[in-house]
Amino acid sequence: MKHYLRLLQYLKLYKLRIAQAVVCMIVSAAANLYMPWIIKDMIDKVLAEKDMETLNLICIGVLVIFFVRGFFYFGQSYLIAFVGQSVVLDIRNALFAKFQRLPVSYFDRHQTGEVMSYLTNDVATVQNALADKIIDVVTEGAILIGSLVMMFLLDWQLALMTLITVPVVAVSMRVFGKMIKKSGSEIQSKLSDFTAMMQESISAERVVKAFGRERYEIDRYCEQNAKTFKASMQNVKLTSMLTPTIEFIAAAAATALIWFGGKEVVDGRITAGTLVAFLTYAVNMSNPLKRLSRAYAGIQQALAGAERVFSVLDMEEPIADKPGAIALPPTEGSVRIEDVSFSYTENVPALSHVSLSAEPGQMIAFVGPSGAGKSTIANLIPRFYDVDSGSIQIDGHDIRNVTIDSLRAQIGIVPQETMLFSASVRENIRYGRLDATDEEIEAAARDANAHEFIMALPEGYDTQIGERGLMLSGGQRQRIAIARAILKDPRILILDEATSALDTESEKIVQSALDRLMIGRTSFVIAHRLSTIFGANQIYVIEHGEIREHGTHEELLAAKGLYAELYALQFKKQLPDS
């Protein structure tokens, strides 16, 4: 009920159209309800009294009624569908916007496919309920009530008898409704698993092929598919049982009516026309009842989808602007990390008591074994996660006190693997700054050592690149990432193993572009190969989430600690005795 009311809240924006739809609905329902009266006149006047004039009137009346009914039926369906679709559009937009605001940690814990399932499957069930089933509920409900009113007008005793069936129908709908909603949740969660599995398997297609695991993936897919099938069939079973159950109750009631009504005609208390008209209403009621019960089932299932959608919409946003957060003024680029501790999962510290500072324009390097916590430090600076204790300050502003947009606008990140969009090379570079001109894009590409290879592509800057930039080599993708960062022109730069995935040849080209990018910016460089950080102002050696030692290259070599060991390992040199 709570979720239903909340869904209805979305309708508020469309009051006018709903009012128009209601008018259409009343007219078309009224036209519908008038038909049995015509049949009554047909039997009692035309057939019994052989009245030709009434017959003519009746025929004209029938044509007019059907025309009016058709016209307003169109209006009603169109308007209600319009409202339903609009609401779905609003919900989908709100949901997508919500996903954009959710923190990185949400996406650590949820698969891409699962997120997509919310946006597709769950929204689709809501759509079905709002755009389709609501029409049924409203129109059939009106016809049902109208028929009842007419039946009371014709013969109140018979009408009362018909009403006895109502509680029976209501109770059975309630029982089925609960079961259908439960099975609806089951379907939605199976669909979500299914979409996640599918998405994962297809995006890992190269891995699948490399290991020859096609058969294995097909089996996994079929198994998931079968689970979804089972959940769906359970639901179909319930929905399909609901309609005949309701219909049987209705048929039993109709039989009773025929018996009592027939007896009244035989006793001469009502005319044959009245009974036929009454029965027509009674039979007419079975259609709305059937549709209503089906719509009811659909709505129950949709509520299961709506519940999931709302659970996402209601999710907390731990990383959001504080009330009264100011925009970070254009920064000089001084960064202080003060006694920062952080863990992704409780009781598993990823960083403990890390302190360091960077003066504007300095290059700070992090080295250490994989899993040490280097990327974690990099993740905390743009607030992908918030520190558990301690603080990070930029130009003296605690980054939790400034708006996220203004913070991230001043930080450029070049990750190990760059995600490119399926768009042209130009648009991919422009992602760094949406209002950049073509000239600026080209200049950035030149600085990133990318201009030449881009010009060699079939359509230059307008060449479309695939989803994961598969048409481009790793080095080319990194150079596009660098061009993006140059275009953004941030004061603070984070290079997280930007060249580690590259071969030595392209590493050189990319490194020279990176060197140019770093000039005049505060840079945090996580390096795989030590040769790229010899010139750093400070090198921090990280292990198990702690700073083990720090200093310049020379200082650290002289200290003969962990750094010196790493150095010896990479350059396969014995440390000179001293």
Ligand X SMILES: Nc1ncnc2c1ncn2[C@@H]1O[C@H](COP(=O)(O)OP(=O)(O)O)[C@@H](O)[C@H]1O
- Residues at the interface with ligand X (CB under 6 A): 108, 344-345, 350, 368, 370-376
Q: Which is nearer to ligand X, 257 or 351 (CB)?
A: 351
In this structure, what is the dihedral angle of CA atoms 481, 484, 489, 491, given to the nearest 10 degrees?
-30
In this structure, what is the dihedral angle of CA atoms 112, 116, 122, 128, given to the nearest 10 degrees?
-170
Q: Which bin fits 324, alpha (ψ -120 to 50), beta or left (φ > 0)? A: left
Q: Which is nearer to ligand X, 82 or 344 (CB)?
A: 344
CB of 422 to ligand X, least distance (A): 26
Report the amino acid identity of residue 21. Answer: A
Q: Which is nearer to Mg ion, 295 or 493 (CB)?
A: 493
CA proximity to 522, closest of 363, 382, 366:
363
Binding-residue pattern over the window 311 to 350 for Mg ion, x denoting contact by CB under 5 A: ----------------------------------------
4 contact choice in ligand X, Mg ion, none (CB below 5 to 8 Å, kind-dependent): none
Question: What length is written for the chain?
Answer: 578
CB of 481 to ligand X, least distance (A): 18
Q: Which is nearer to ligand X, 239 or 416 (CB)?
A: 416
State whether residue 332 is helix, strand or coil: coil
> What gap in Å lies between CA 110 and CA 99, rounded to an integer?
11
Q: Which is nearer to Mg ion, 146 or 368 (CB)?
A: 368
CB of 340 to Mg ion, least distance (A): 17
Dig out the tokens for 533 from the structure: 């950080």
CB of 578 to ligand X, least distance (A): 31
Return the residue nearest Mg ion (CB atom): 375
Cβ atoms within 10 Å, residue 187? 23
Element (H, E) at 523: strand 522-526
Q: Which is nearer to ligand X, 133 or 374 (CB)?
A: 374
Strand pairing class (389-394; 335-345): antiparallel
Choose which of 162, 362, 375, 379 interacts with Mg ion (CB under 5 A). 375
Backbone angles phi, psi at 476, to 5 degrees: -70, -40
Q: Which is nearer to Mg ion, 375 or 523 (CB)?
A: 375
Q: Which is nearer to Mg ion, 305 or 382 (CB)?
A: 382
Q: Which is nearer to ligand X, 544 or 553 (CB)?
A: 544
CB of 510 closer than 8 Å to CB of 475: yes
Backbone angles phi, psi at 356, to 5 degrees: -165, 165
DSSP, res 416: S
- Widest pairwise Cα distance in the chain: 129
CA proximity to 270, closest of 111, 100, 153, 148:
153
108 contact choice in Mg ion, ligand X, none (CB below 5 to 8 Å, kind-dependent): ligand X
Helix, strand, coil percent content, the chain, rounded in steps of 5? 65, 10, 20
Which range touches Mg ion (CB under 5 A), out of 35-43, 67-75, 334-342, 374-382? 374-382
Partners of residue 524 on adjacent β-strands? 364, 494
DSSP, res 497: S
CB of 337 to ligand X, least distance (A): 14
372 contact choice in Mg ion, ligand X, none (CB below 5 to 8 Å, kind-dependent): ligand X
CB of 356 closer than 8 Å to CB of 367: no
> What gap in Å lies between CA 257 and CA 186, rounded to an integer?
41
In the block, which residue shows the tokens 């290259």? 553
CB of 101 to ligand X, least distance (A): 18
262 contact choice in Mg ion, ligand X, none (CB below 5 to 8 Å, kind-dependent): none
459 contact choice in ligand X, Mg ion, none (CB below 5 to 8 Å, kind-dependent): none
454 contact choice in Mg ion, ligand X, none (CB below 5 to 8 Å, kind-dependent): none
CB of 335 to Mg ion, least distance (A): 19
Cβ atoms within 10 Å, residue 221? 15
Which range touches Mg ion (CB under 5 A), out of 5-13, 182-190, 251-259, 375-383? 375-383
373 contact choice in Mg ion, ligand X, none (CB below 5 to 8 Å, kind-dependent): ligand X
Which range touches Mg ion (CB under 5 A), out of 60-68, 159-167, 373-381, 554-562? 373-381
CB of 376 closer than 8 Å to CB of 383: no
Q: Which is nearer to ligand X, 346 or 435 (CB)?
A: 346
Any contact of residue 280 with Mg ion (CB under 5 A)? no
CB of 516 to Mg ion, least distance (A): 24
CB of 458 closer than 8 Å to CB of 377: no
CA proximity to 525, closest of 393, 396, 388, 368:
368
350 contact choice in ligand X, Mg ion, none (CB below 5 to 8 Å, kind-dependent): ligand X
Q: Which is nearer to ligand X, 349 or 460 (CB)?
A: 349
Dig out the tokens for 315 from the structure: 């999710």
CB of 527 to Mg ion, least distance (A): 11
Q: Which is nearer to Mg ion, 374 or 430 (CB)?
A: 374
Binding-site size for Mg ion (CB under 5 A) equals 1
113 contact choice in ligand X, Mg ion, none (CB below 5 to 8 Å, kind-dependent): none
Q: Which is nearer to ligand X, 468 or 544 (CB)?
A: 544
Give the relative orientation of helices 474-488 and 438-447 as an angle to the nearest 10 degrees. Answer: 120
Which range touches Mg ion (CB under 5 A), out of 3-11, 368-376, 406-414, 567-575? 368-376
CB of 562 to Mg ion, least distance (A): 17
CB of 339 to ligand X, least distance (A): 18
List, in sequence order, every beta strand (DSSP E) within 178-294: none
CB of 372 to ligand X, least distance (A): 4
506 contact choice in ligand X, Mg ion, none (CB below 5 to 8 Å, kind-dependent): none
Residues 6+ apart with CB under 8 A from 336: 356, 357, 358, 392, 393, 394, 396
CB of 448 to ligand X, least distance (A): 24
What residues line the site for Mg ion (CB under 5 A)? Answer: 375
